[in-house]
Amino acid sequence: MKIELKEIDRNRWMIPRSGNMRVPGMIFSNTHLIKDLLKDQSLVQVANVACLPGIVKYSLAMPDIHQGYGFPIGGVAAFDAEEGIVSPGGVGYDINCGCRLMTTSLNLDRIKPHIKELVSALFKNIPSGVGTQGRVHLSKKDVTDVSVQGAAWAVKQGFGRIDDLEKTEDHGIFKGADPSILSERAFKRGLDQLGTLGSGNHFLEVQVVDRVYNDKVAGHFNLHEGQVTVFIHSGSRGFGHQICDDFLKEMGREAHTKNLQIPDRQLAYAPLDSDPGRRYLSAMACAANYAWANRQILMHLALETFLSTLSISPRDMGMSLLYDVCHNIAKMEIHNIEGRERSLCVHRKGATRSLPPGHPLLPDVFQKTGQPVLIPGDMGTYSYVLAGAQGAMELSFGSSCHGAGRLLSRSMAVKTAKGRSIYRELEDKGIFVQSRGRETLKEEMPEAYKDVSQVVDVVHEAGLAAKVARLRPLGVIKG
């Protein structure tokens, strides 16, 4: 498919309707980042998503867009509740992969002499890597309970505090979960992976607040320059992966049987009002709840490690959850479309919510500031904290990007890194890294990702979210 791109302004590009597209495509990007999109099929995927039934307004892509399965990663699409569809490819395999940021009372001088020891302790105490088993071993009934209760299950088991739930998206529970529809394979994969980091781009990072852009909002978020923070990126692990796989196969068979005309078989879908559509959303909710419980436990394990390694009290540590935000999800939401409120199923694949001040879904603590929007970069540069802005409600169904976005495939990154010691290069910059997989650091090297500062500038200038603070990595553990 030949893609035509039209520049709307310095941060937005349009793919006009053509062929079977029901709506235009809209890409948030700038002249620097847009060039990279011509190297893969991500723009074709934006156009393909625009062909799906019931899509509303635009097929959207955030500035971290890159090629994914069916939908591009960084893709956002909203479908009418009555006439639209749900597509597992629009959510992704790692259902409710997300980010959790914790603030502390520690400053850089306090931990700088101990950072290498701290990274080693975190790597030892927090299971990471492909198929790794965690310290929390579950029965099938436990998996059922986690699938329904989400982060609250972890808190009940002693992993964190009840007030953590207020600072977790949707209070850490996706309603409508129904574990009875899950496969035995999904249950089996969920038995021993709770409290594990995973592999690939999942990480736990010790950081320092490097720069503050908005003193007032940063103060409300309890962020200040020189402060130590802890950033977690993980999801529903093999449990969510299996749920996605099960429904992709089912909907793929259905599409073949009914001879559905879809531009890409990876975009297999089911109508929202169908039995497969309803079952998928209920199963997806189970995985989302598992992911929230997982990140809640990882936060607690990180706190334990800090306390023991630094020999300090919880009071001196002062670790507190700023926010937990998810990506890779499909949610039923109310949005104003051309002056009329409509119920939509918003798919965010590699994209997060960005709710503005005063939004009814925000907890009281963020009503005046807007939702914290967490955007991790690569392990050699920066991560960012932003605040949700009204522009997101008008332009992107209340959405922002979820990270820097890949520039190189994993295989290309490994090839590019041949003969280099990524570990040593990062240590020379004062960043200490430990990883489980032999190839992980090569796959995740900084050059494999887009310039996160450029990505964040697009989000900020387009009005999707406003910059609050920048975080610099000190130590990283990866799978």
- Which among 241, 269, 276 is positioned nearest to 255, based on CA atoms? 269
The answer to whether 6 and 50 are in contact (CB under 8 A) is no
- Going by the DSSP 8-state scheme, the letter that residue 455 receives in this structure is H
- DSSP per-residue letters across 404-434: S-BSS-HHHHHHHTTT--HHHHHHHTT-EEE
**Amino acid (one-letter) located at 292:** W
Among residues 233, 300, 359, 402, the one annotated as catalytic is: 402
Nearest-CA neighbor of 364 among 215, 171, 219, 216? 171
Cα–Cα distance between 219 and 270 in angstroms, integer?
Answer: 45
Active site residue 327: no
Instruction: Provide the H-helix boundaries in 258-347.
Output: 275-310, 314-317
Closest CA to 234 of 190, 283, 197, 208: 197
Parallel/antiparallel/unpaired status of strands 329-337 and 73-80: unpaired
Tell me how far the alpha carbon of residue 389 is from its chain's centroid. Answer: 18
**C-alpha separations of 132 from 195, 199, 282, 292, 382 in Å:** 10, 9, 26, 18, 28
Residues with a catalytic annotation lie at 402
